[in-house]
Structure 1
Amino acid sequence: MSTIRFTAMSTTLARHYQAGGVDANGQTPETHVSDGDGVPCRHCLRNVKAGDKYLVLSHRPFPAPQPYAETGPIFLHADACERHKETAEMPAMFRETSDYILRGYSDQDRIVYGTGGVISTSDIPARAEELLRRADVAYVHMRSARNNCFQCRIDLA
């Protein structure tokens, strides 16, 4: 039995962006129409369907700015979507890609050096669990191995 859970962006934050609230750079999210290819929503953890509107915005998945608080672009449905339930099962949209970056962070939201690496998708649950067993790792980020974009957080269950 797995002891991890995949954690999507909070509904409070998603609704802030969907209502036109400013992003991590103080800008209003851009609105686009999906062609149905490679537009993963960080709230429902599903791809945005062709013809549906989505937002592009700068996201900082940390509680406050600091040197290790990476900020980068993400996609989000423009209209309200249901948040992905926290579950040990990897969301289906992530299984469509061959690998991701996993990186551990401390309880001070700092990168724990030596934890980052490109991991085959099939090995992500085991590697995340291994990292989360370490006393110095509070949580793990899953990021795109090609563009380093934040995908989701992984926590202990």
Structure 2
Amino acid sequence: MNVVFNAMPTAEAMTLWQGGSDAYGLLPETRTSDGAGYPCRHCLRNIGAGEDVLVLAYRPFATLQPYAETGPVFLHKIPCRRHDASEALPAILTSPDYIVRGYDHDDRIVYGTGAVIATGAIPARAAEILARDDVAYVHVRSARNNCYQCRIDPA
């Protein structure tokens, strides 16, 4: 099975760029990137030193429910082009490993799918998880802080 890495939807990013609130109903904070550790969830590239960054609470789920994790993410303050869905590992995945975890069609965690996976093995592990009938999509999350990075879908 082929997989594709998907970024935050442009409509969600546009709401924030146009002054909208985050998952907690707050306006995003603005910081300046020092060049390290600010992965944009829309273009899936790191935000360069000196660029303004939006810091916000993000919930990559359509509705509130017990498994709808919310956490901090970064977004370029100036609109950027959305990452083209592809099989290639996104530029933001620079750590040695990440949590990879499957979710069902009701946005609930599918138990037994989550594990810390070496970065280079993510596509293969995601394909293995997505081959299950009970898994609709996969999240990639930080292995250290559990922060949402991106979503993986079947190609």
The within-5 A match list for 1:121-140 is 121-140=119-138
Deviations 1:54-74, CA, capped at 9 Å, x for gaps = 100000000111000000000
Report the counterpart of residue 96 of structure 2 in structure 1: 98
The within-5 A match list for 1:29-108 is 29-94=28-93, 96-108=94-106
Deviation at 1:92, TM superposition (A): 2.4
TM-score (norm 1): 0.97
Structure 1, gaps ≥5 residues long: none
Contact 2:40 2:92 in 1 (8 A): no
Report the counterpart of residue 26 of structure 1 in structure 2: 25
Matched residue count: 155
Contact 2:140 2:150 in 1 (8 A): yes
Q: Distance in 2 between the 1:149 and 1:82 partners?
A: 22
Q: Distance in 2 between the 1:53 and 1:91 partners?
A: 21
TM-score (norm 2): 0.98
Deviation at 1:84, TM superposition (A): 0.3
Deviation at 1:122, TM superposition (A): 1.1
Structure 2, gaps ≥5 residues long: none
Report the counterpart of residue 156 of structure 1 in structure 2: 154
Moved over 4 A (4+): none
Q: Distance in 1 between the 2:141 and 2:128 partners?
A: 17
Deviation at 1:20, TM superposition (A): 1.6
After the TM superposition, which of the residue ranges 66-75 and 14-23 deviates more from structure 2?
14-23
